[in-house]
Amino acid sequence: MDYANVPTAVFSTPPVGAVGLTEAEAAQRGEIDVYVSSFKPLKHTLTGRAERTMMKLVVDRASQRVLGLHMVGADAPEIVQGFAVALKCGATKRDFDATVGIHPTAAEEFVTLREKRN
């Protein structure tokens, strides 16, 4: 059993899911790029709820390997569990970018992230 990149979740409101390194941990190991998104879930468009979802990818700048994936929002534990396999397999940002997302889902945001935070 390989205990690197074990996904974790906090079953709170909103739920939290994460796998891999945090931004701070990754930055200690070398140069990184961080991709972020914050959006109102489609299901709240008609309800008027102000609830938002936050997603973050932490990527090694040189290799483009995804080092960490983090989410706060509805279904975060379920979504992160699926992406944990990708991190375990050494997925890169290019792999994420080349993946067609299921629309309309919150999970598709991870494969369409383009906003890089400085």
Backbone angles phi, psi at 6, to 5 degrees: -75, 125
Looking up tokens 């040189």, which residue turns up?
62
Residue 13, classed as helix, strand or coil, is: coil
- The rounded distance, in Å, linking the Cα atoms of 110 and 69 is 9
Just list the catalytic residues: 103
